[in-house]
Each structure stands twice: as C-alpha cells, then as structure tokens.
Amino acid sequence: MLSGMVTACRKRPVTLEDLQDAAERVERDLFDLCETEVPSTEIGERVMAQLFRLDTVAYVRFASVYREFETLSDFIDIVESVVAKKHDITVGALSDRPQGRTDS
C-alpha cells in the first residue's frame, strides 16, 4: 500500500513521513472495522481519501492506476470531481467563519 502511495507522490511536495502517517491511518481504520477480511476496493478507496487530503495530483495519479483509466474522459471526470470537492471544501470553510459585527 505504501509503495503505491509513494509512487503516486513522486516529485510532489509530500514527505515520506506524511505518507507513512496516512498509511497508518488507513490500517488503523481498517483494523477498527473488526472484520477478518477487507475487500481491496475498501483499501483502495481509503488510500485515495488519504491522498486527496495530502495532494490532489497524487490522488489523480493513484486513481488512474487503481481505477484503470483507459480514456482521456476518465481523467477529465476525476479532475472535475477534484475541482468540485475542493470548491465544496472551500465554500464550507468560508461559511464556517464567524461573520463580522453588524451593529453600529
């Protein structure tokens, strides 16, 4: 799992320590499920979630291999979903900010 994450982050501003921490979070989360077997799809989706947090370019790289992209449309779809998620996160963060005082 870690080697795939390292490959996705090659030449990206992500430290090995950050990747190790992310891999540990995935492993801990999977362990907390208390299941004897975990489908590889569950592992892949959790790895993608961690990569999204760390670096969206690495996320797209990993997704292209994990989801076996075959066309340019596959890349366009995931890039559009990244842009939409980033927008939602930004809008959500802005709406959580305390508003300025309106009394005079």
Instruction: Let me know if residue 90 belongs to a domain.
Output: no
Instruction: Let me know if residue 89 belongs to a domain.
Output: no
Instruction: Let me know if residue 41 belongs to a domain.
Output: yes
Q: Exposed, middle or buried by CB within 10 Å (0-12, 13-18, 19+), for 50?
A: buried
Instruction: Let me know if residue 94 belongs to a domain.
Output: no
Which pLDDT does position 104 carry in this prediction?
A: 46
Which pLDDT does position 101 carry in this prediction?
A: 52
pLDDT tens per residue, range 20-79: 999 999 999 999 887 788 899 999 999 999 999 999 999 999 999 999 999 999 999 999
Give residue 43's domain range. 2-69
Instruction: Let me know if residue 6 belongs to a domain.
Output: yes
Instruction: Let me know if residue 83 belongs to a domain.
Output: no
Counted domains in the chain: 1
Which pLDDT does position 33 carry in this prediction?
A: 83
Helix axes 56-66, 72-96, angle to 10 degrees: 140
Average pLDDT over residues 6-23: 97
Instruction: Let me know if residue 100 belongs to a domain.
Output: no
Which pLDDT does position 70 carry in this prediction?
A: 97
pLDDT tens per residue, range 65-98: 999 999 999 999 999 999 999 888 877 777 766 6
